[in-house]
A and B are shown apart, each in its own frame.
Chain A
């Protein structure tokens, strides 16, 4: 059982914070565009905003499963790009 180095802890946290936030933002954006009403309809936008925190923190807290920063990036980076592509697609269609 090996413990992670301090640098690994900080690196994983950075991945979780940055890419976790990006993915949460993209996911709530996809929700905003695919559900009824305009994406920024007055009250709906509040719900969309509320979605960010639970998504962000859930994705962030899962990052410590990985033993190293490259291993985490190997999943989080492509996932972020796929979600960004999906968001762009829903924006074009919607």
Chain B
């Protein structure tokens, strides 16, 4: 390879990395958390008397009652078969606001509640990095497109990173030169993390690009590649809008199990029962197969006849083209190997976040000697503020979840997150990156420790707090405590290096003031 080609790819790697690193950091650590979304949801759900699982006939009766009496439920109705503590009611609609169940006396009770938006916050951070703004009735998030573009730069960074390393592959890999120069050490961490999980990174980069831009790709294919084939109307036979009896659960399950014998339903969604295209989507798992979605596979069913219309997303019955496409989804969601793969993806996601963080650090360290100007100091402040500020926002949201949920305050997750995030960025510019890092790491550690404190204090505040009721919920508390220890250690070591004056001046505020 010509030396100038290598130099080109080094330059490319540096700039696409610095442009995309911060949003990718947020997407990755939040993505790690989504691997345990169900556990977090179970942990965050206040205790409520849980009815015994309904028989299929009782479920039929409840669904028929709700669909007839509540027009909003006909638009979209969630049916929950799960027995975990976050299954608040067998029927839920309008974003979890309305719930229907049988009262102890056997009558049908519909209640209104404010659902927790914690899972929504984590999902949104994962998909949009928290970048606000949406269009087309809120269906398209601006942040998703930003994430898609960032993933293109990320792909370029991966290719260029591999090109740079290719020459010195064996020498650099597994050579953690801990005691050598600071830059060398961070470079080793960066290379080890990057190369160590390179297939995962290529998968994530490409899937995110497709998630963001699939409409554009389909349009281009339709217009350029197959213009002679007019887009086929993909509509199913339009059902008459007059009310008809829904297919019974027994029929539906029989039809699905005829295709996937070990299918266990977890959740169902009735959609558009009031419109021209009614649909029933049944989600469930089959331990023998990987699944299409983040948690489960799906079957699309005619809600009136109970016939399976589309089994391509059903675990185990994907074949040919569908199996290949299903693989792409499963590889992004880490839904192909149960809890083991979930943990592997959790670790890979966090390692990815550290990879982007170390990339920014390398950019700063390699420039602090050459040209220690205010731009470098500003990037240092921005890097610390954005990464640690985002983590702080989520940690505090978790630490406040039980207190606020128990006291009936709702809808506070997003204001709380954005306030803390912006405050952290401002603080990082005001204090300088080094000092702000110590402050923010300390605060994150405190917030992490406060998460299990809510469970420990539950006996003292039985009205407000509650203890975990499952191993999954207990796991959230334990993981938070462990993260608290990690962030404490990071805060301690950063403070020690600052005190020893081991950090370069771009990490201090006064340089910013002078350079102006």
Q: Is B206's CB under 8 angstroms from A57's CB?
A: yes
Residue in A2, A49, A58 whose Cβ sees the most chain B Cβ within 10 Å:
A49
A3-B7 in contact given A39-B226, A61-B159 (Cβ < 8 Å): yes
B7, B156, B220: the one within 8 Å of A60 (CB) = B156
Report chain B residues within 8 Å CB of A40: 221-222, 226, 229, 231-232
Please provide the chain A residues from 28 to 65 with a CB less than 8 Å away from any CB of chain B in the complex: 28-29, 32-33, 37-50, 52-54, 57-58, 60-61, 64-65
Report chain B residues within 8 Å CB of A33: 225-226
Report chain A residues within 8 Å CB of B206: 53-54, 57
Q: Is A38's CB under 8 angstroms from B221's CB?
A: no
A94 to chain B, nearest CB (A): 10
Q: Is A4 an interface residue (CB 8 A)?
A: yes
Q: Is A65's CB under 8 angstroms from B8's CB?
A: yes
A1, A46, A53: the one within 8 Å of B325 (CB) = A46
Q: Is A87 an interface residue (CB 8 A)?
A: yes
Stretch at the interface among B100-108, B209-217, B357-365: B209-217
B160, B205, B225, B321: the one within 8 Å of A46 (CB) = B321
Report chain A residues within 8 Å CB of B259: none
For chain B, give the interface size range: 35 or more
A65 to chain B, nearest CB (A): 6
Q: Is B152 an interface residue (CB 8 A)?
A: yes
Q: Is A57's CB under 8 angstroms from B156's CB?
A: yes
Separation of A31 and B226 alpha carbons in the complex (Å): 12
Q: Is B225's CB under 8 angstroms from A25's CB?
A: yes
Q: Is A28's CB under 8 angstroms from B221's CB?
A: yes
Q: Is A71 an interface residue (CB 8 A)?
A: no
Q: Is A1's CB under 8 angstroms from B155's CB?
A: no
Q: Is B221's CB under 8 angstroms from A53's CB?
A: no
B9, B217, B231: the one within 8 Å of A49 (CB) = B217
Q: Could you count the A-B residue pairs with CB atoms below 8 Å apart for me: how many are there? A: 97
B221-237 CB mask vs A (1 if < 8 Å, else 0) is 11011101101101000
Report chain B residues within 8 Å CB of A25: 220-221, 224-225
Residue of chain B at shortest CB distance from A44: B321
Report chain A residues within 8 Å CB of B228: 91
Q: Is A50's CB under 8 angstroms from B229's CB?
A: no
Separation of A4 and B152 alpha carbons in the complex (Å): 21
B9-24 CB mask vs A (1 if < 8 Å, else 0) is 1011000000000000
Q: Is B4 an interface residue (CB 8 A)?
A: yes
B167 to chain A, nearest CB (A): 15
Please provide the chain B residues from 289 to 337 with a CB less than 8 Å away from any CB of chain A in the complex: 312, 320-322, 324-325, 328
Q: Is A67's CB under 8 angstroms from B4's CB?
A: yes
Q: Is B210's CB under 8 angstroms from A29's CB?
A: no
Report chain A residues within 8 Å CB of B312: 43
Please provide the chain B residues from 144 to 194 with a CB less than 8 Å away from any CB of chain A in the complex: 152, 155-156, 159-160
Interface size of A in residues (CB-CB distance below 8 Å) = 37
Report chain B residues within 8 Å CB of A2: 4
Separation of A32 and B287 alpha carbons in the complex (Å): 33
Q: Is B324's CB under 8 angstroms from A47's CB?
A: yes
A53-B217 in contact given A1-B3, A64-B8 (Cβ < 8 Å): yes
Report chain B residues within 8 Å CB of A67: 4
Residue of chain A at shortest CB distance from B229: A40
Separation of A43 and B234 alpha carbons in the complex (Å): 12
Q: Is B5 an interface residue (CB 8 A)?
A: yes
Report chain B residues within 8 Å CB of A44: 321
Separation of A46 and B322 alpha carbons in the complex (Å): 8
A30 to chain B, nearest CB (A): 9
Residue in A1, A28, A46 whose Cβ sees the most chain B Cβ within 10 Å:
A46
Q: Is A64's CB under 8 angstroms from B7's CB?
A: no
Q: Is B218 an interface residue (CB 8 A)?
A: yes
Separation of A50 and B208 alpha carbons in the complex (Å): 11
A28-B8 in contact given A57-B206, A61-B159 (Cβ < 8 Å): no
Separation of A91 and B229 alpha carbons in the complex (Å): 11
Separation of A40 and B210 alpha carbons in the complex (Å): 18
Q: Is A53's CB under 8 angstroms from B4's CB?
A: no
B495 to chain A, nearest CB (A): 39
Separation of A58 and B152 alpha carbons in the complex (Å): 10
A52 to chain B, nearest CB (A): 5
B433 to chain A, nearest CB (A): 28
Q: Is A28's CB under 8 angstroms from B225's CB?
A: yes
Q: Is B226's CB under 8 angstroms from A50's CB?
A: no
Q: Is A61's CB under 8 angstroms from B217's CB?
A: no
B470 to chain A, nearest CB (A): 37
A49 to chain B, nearest CB (A): 5
Q: A40-B232, A41-B321, A47-B325 provided; 14 other pairs, C-beta below 8 A?
A: A3-B11, A4-B8, A25-B221, A29-B221, A32-B221, A32-B226, A39-B229, A40-B226, A43-B312, A43-B325, A48-B225, A50-B328, A57-B152, A65-B8
Hey, which bits of chain B sit against chain A, CB under 8 A?
3-5, 7-9, 11-12, 152, 155-156, 159-160, 205-206, 209-210, 213-214, 217-218, 220-222, 224-226, 228-229, 231-232, 234, 312, 320-322, 324-325, 328
Show 22 residue pairs from A and B whose CB-CB distance is below 8 angstroms, ordered by the A residue.
A1-B3, A2-B4, A26-B224, A26-B225, A33-B226, A39-B225, A40-B222, A43-B312, A49-B210, A49-B214, A50-B210, A52-B220, A53-B217, A57-B156, A61-B156, A64-B8, A64-B9, A65-B5, A65-B8, A67-B4, A87-B225, A91-B226
**A-B residue pairs, 5 tightest by C-beta:** A29-B225, A61-B159, A57-B155, A44-B321, A43-B321
Hey, which bits of chain A sit against chain B, CB under 8 A?
1-4, 21, 25-26, 28-29, 32-33, 37-50, 52-54, 57-58, 60-61, 64-65, 67, 87, 91
